[in-house]
Amino acid sequence: MEGEQLFLVFDFGGGTLDVSVVDCFENIVEITTIAGDNHLGGTDFDQAIARAFCEENGVDWNSLEKRQQKTLLFESRRCKEQLSARNEMILEFCIGTDSYAMELTTNKVFRIGQRLFQRMKNVISRAVRDSGVGLEDITTVLLAGGSSRMPAVQMFLRRLFERDVMIGEEPDLLIARGLGVYTGIKERKEEVKDILMTDVCPFSLGTSTAGNAPGDPERMCMMIERNSVLPCRAEMIFTTAGDYQDRILFQIYQGENYDPGANLKIGELSIPVVKAPKGKARVQVAFTYNINGILEVSAIDCYTKASVKTTVVSGYKQLSSEQIAAIRGQMEGMKYLSREQEERRAVLAMGERLYAETVGDTRRYVERALGYYHHAWSTSSPIQICKAGKMVMQMFLNVEVGQNYSVFEELFDDLE
């Protein structure tokens, strides 16, 4: 793969839609954002087609028996799927002795599904917005999931992105194959050991906190924002909300809502504290989330140094207690994304040497280049780090041989 490519993976199945923005640069694959709708899939189009059939033929959908509704949905799905190979289909259905029919084409499905396409657009917009890029920056739109075979869905995406989309012969198997490769990368299998792949947290994680004033409702305090690069860690100091509390209870939530109760509670953690006036007792809380879907929450009393911790495993993970213990050991002391230390040391060593050897404007350029490189590391994005390392190293080489290096000045200006 030459240069950087930005993929949008559109995974549309029977009941869910997942959209990911994936940045690829050299041997690094970085999932930058994930967004989805767990209640939008191919079955929603079956429902929309069936209801359009009823409306066109003057039939009351609600008056149909459950068996009749099920049969009409089946015929709607059959015609929808046949449109992948044919220009039009005739949807036929009998109620008693009466027969009804409706012509179905891709354009008609496109019109019928406008409300559903708007929901698709909302998911895509959220994924693209969270990634910090625009639709025009997407290099390739890759379709996955059986329902992405629908010509109307492909028409919608071509119009939205103003370009063609990429779909394989078996889009419903694409995610399964990708999962196999992903597992191989995590396990450092020989065939894919040179590929570095990062994932992101698909949802925000946090705890509930008291309102700003007595009587105010609790609010969500986000510790790890959705689409944070994994593994990640966040720390925060909390204080008591009332006088002479003897413990603080941290409710752990997953979700995006301001109201904690509207999010999914996934655990809790309680720590005893020294009784003191409100706001005096202090507890440092840390959330650590890794690529295996394990969240560790720890709390340390800032005065007594007493500590407690709990581990929450994502529901779909089937890990033994020994596996969890091993992963927790790896998470101990983790603060940042694992780094390619040798390359980093080489860049910094050269920069620091040039800083010591130069003066005036050249020294200031070197200083700004080092700052730019440190900024890239602070993003924890392997692709940003890799790109910054190459650019900064080239700038240092230009300085060393006396070539022009001012072309990099604009990049540094963007950071300030």
What is the rounded distance in angstroms from the CA atom of residue 316 to the CA atom of residue 312?
12
Residues 52 and 100 in one domain: yes
Q: What pLDDT score does 42 carry?
A: 93
Q: If you average pLDDT over every residue of the chain, what do you get?
A: 82
Residue carrying the six token digits 């007595």: 214
Helix (H, G, I), strand (E, B) or coil at 340: coil
> Parallel, antiparallel, or unpaired: how do β-strands 140-144 and 4-12 relate?
parallel
Residues 189 and 220 in one domain: no
**Residues linked to residue 234 through DSSP beta bridges, in sequence order:** 287
336 in a structural domain: no
What is the rounded distance in angstroms from the CA atom of residue 246 to the CA atom of residue 159?
60
Q: What pLDDT score does 34 carry?
A: 87
Q: How many CA atoms lie within 13 A of 81 on its CB side?
A: 11
Q: Is the peptide bond before 277 cis (omega within 30 degrees of 0)?
A: no
Residues 2 and 148 in one domain: yes
> Parallel, antiparallel, or unpaired: how do β-strands 219-224 and 28-37 relate?
unpaired
Instruction: Give the pLDDT confidence of 328-377 residue by residue, as tens digits.
Output: 555 454 444 444 566 777 888 888 888 877 777 888 888 888 888 888 87
Instruction: Give the pLDDT confidence of 166-225 residue by residue, as tens digits.
Output: 887 666 555 555 554 555 545 555 554 555 566 778 888 999 988 666 666 788 999 998
Confidence of residue 409 (pLDDT cuts 50, 70, 90): low
Residue carrying the six token digits 């109307």: 152
Residues 310 and 365 in one domain: no
Residues 355 and 388 in one domain: yes
Q: What pLDDT score does 232 carry?
A: 86
The last residue of one of the domains, among 164, 198, 232, is 198
The Cα-based distances of 96 to 75, 99, 300, 378 in angstroms read 17, 8, 71, 69
286 in a structural domain: yes
Span of 70-74, 99-103, 153-157, 355-359 with lowest mean pLDDT: 355-359
The last residue of one of the domains, among 308, 331, 354, is 331
CATH number at residue 47: 3.30.420.40
What is the amino acid identity at position 61?
W
What is the rounded distance in angstroms from the CA atom of residue 350 to the CA atom of residue 160?
46
Residues 238 and 151 in one domain: no
Q: Which residues contact 66 (CB under 8 A, 6 or more apart)?
A: none
| Mean pLDDT calculated for residue range 214-240 | 86
The last residue of one of the domains, among 331, 365, 386, is 331
Q: What pLDDT score does 364 carry?
A: 81
Domain count, the chain: 3
Confidence of residue 317 (pLDDT cuts 50, 70, 90): very low
3-state secondary structure 304-325: CCCEEEEEEECCCCCCCHHHHH
Q: Which two tokens stand for residue 395?
A: 């700038």
292 in a structural domain: yes
Q: What pLDDT score does 338 carry?
A: 44
The closest alpha carbon to 134, from 160, 158, 166, belongs to 160
Q: Which two tokens stand for residue 312?
A: 């929450």
193 in a structural domain: yes
Cβ contact 306:298 at 8 Å: no
Judged against a pLDDT cut of 70, whether residue 54 lies above it is answered with yes
| Mean pLDDT calculated for residue range 385-410 | 76
Residues 257 and 180 in one domain: no
Compute how many other C-beta atoms are within 10 angstroms of the C-beta atom of residue 39. 11
Residues 57 and 168 in one domain: yes
DSSP string across 38-58: TT-SHHHHHHHHHHHHHHHHT
Residues 13 and 40 in one domain: yes
Residues 362 and 317 in one domain: no
Cβ contact 140:5 at 8 Å: yes
Helix or strand holding residue 148 (H, E): none
93 in a structural domain: yes
Residue 3, Cβ density class (10 Å: 0-12 exposed, 13-18 middle, ≥19 buried): exposed
Strand locations in 203-327, DSSP E? 205-209, 219-224, 232-239, 247-254, 264-272, 282-289, 294-301, 307-313
What is the rounded distance in angstroms from the CA atom of residue 307 to the CA atom of residue 303?
11
Residues 173 and 251 in one domain: no
50 in a structural domain: yes
Confidence of residue 319 (pLDDT cuts 50, 70, 90): very low
What is the rounded distance in angstroms from the CA atom of residue 217 to the CA atom of residue 306?
29
The closest alpha carbon to 213, from 285, 301, 299, 278, belongs to 278
**What percent of the chain stands above pLDDT 70?**
80
3-state secondary structure 129-151: HHHCCCHHHCCEEEEECHHHHCH
CATH number at residue 254: 2.60.34.10
The closest alpha carbon to 272, from 245, 235, 241, belongs to 245
Residues 45 and 128 in one domain: yes
Span of 28-37, 74-83, 127-136, 265-274 with lowest mean pLDDT: 28-37
38: containing domain: 1-198
